[in-house]
Amino acid sequence: MKSNPTVARRRFLKTALAASGAAFCADAFPWNARKDRREARYYKKLAGDKVQCLLCPWCCIVLPGGRGQCGVRENVRGVYHTLVYGTASACHIDPIEKKPFFHFLPGRPAYSLATAGCNLECKFCQNWELARRSPEEVFRYGRALPPEEAVREAAGQDCPIIAYTYNEPVISLEYTIDIAALAKEKGIRNVVVSNGFIKKEPLRDLCECIDAYKVDLKAFTESYYEQIVGGSLAPVLDTLVYLKERGIWTEIVYLVVPTYNDGETEIRNMVEWVGKHLGPDVPVHFSRFYPQYKMKNLPPTPVPTLQKARQIGLDAGLHHVYLGNVPGHEGESTTCPACGRVVIARAGYLILENRLKSGKCGYCGNPVSGVWSAT
């Protein structure tokens, strides 16, 4: 992956600071003595006790005592560890529509959990309090939640879904996979809400135990990813293609940031790529931006801009193009691609009406793509 000098400097500083404080960390912070401290699964050992992480496309080379770009994986004397296994920074029950998934068990509650950290650095991050949180803070303010307990809590609260969400679940993949595997044995579905910035081998392992993947496609240019997100577009597109190949139900969210990624040409290129490589039935959600984190100088996305993006998607032949963060808009509802009638009417996260019958339009009988049954 092409290196971005700005991101490279940030990574160097983070690693250098972590290395300089390694002796302090080893003695002062209690996760080192915890029983659930885990060796990471995706890395290789290098000379001089260095390691190379193989979880995401950064492929960080980490010195002893240092951490990777995500900040939650540490080299302890040549052994790479995940620092957030078994600890949750947040647990809530959300409607599945909040993720958003519109074609996956609509109206069902999702047991939603997070750890901390992220492998990207989005300037507009809406969950920056978790994404930029350190493992130290998670241990201090979160709670111990072993995989078995997470599954028991989800089942005990009648949640047919566990969602790995709020912060980036890829960076705690060992924890995510262990929970998902246990949940799958109990008949609970698993969904991932992710930036899609992951290498193929860990993605392959993840796909063995999940049912759906929502990808935040930040933009459709490398320059935006480099300057605003601190990452790269190409690996995310590779993730989307692989999910299609594996038959994992996928939905895409595109946060429309005024003057940055709202150009008609860019949006047209994106939806045409989706149609060509993923097919017309993959839902695309154009979500409204609100000023957050380091981009508070911009106004919210004008609704006409979102409506134009949606129309471009429909004109390109996509069947399910939605608007997000615009409660009450007709672009929240699902229509039958054959007869055009509304089969799921929504207002925000609420299902007002569901006219699907066994995954088919209740008016004309045409199949509507999605995962509609929990069995």
DSSP β-bridge partners for residue 269: none
The 10s digit of each residue's pLDDT in 12-37 is: 444 444 444 333 333 334 444 344 56
DSSP β-bridge partners for residue 82: 38, 73
- Provide block-wise average pLDDT over 10 residues at a time, the chain (375 residues): 45 45 37 62 98 98 97 96 95 97 98 96 93 84 94 98 97 98 98 98 98 98 98 98 98 98 98 98 98 96 98 98 96 98 97 97 98 89
- Domain ranges (residues) in the chain: 5-82, 87-361
CATH number of 87-361: 3.20.20.70
**Per-residue model confidence (pLDDT) at position 166:** 96
Residue type for 316, please?
A
249: Cβ contacts below 8 Å, ≥ 6 apart:
103, 104, 211, 212, 213, 370, 371
**Per-residue model confidence (pLDDT) at position 374:** 82
C-alpha angle 219/223/224, rounded to 5°? Answer: 35
Task: Name the residue with tokens 């993006």.
Answer: 309
Specify the pTM: 0.91
Of the chain, the percentage scoring pLDDT greater than 70 comes to 90
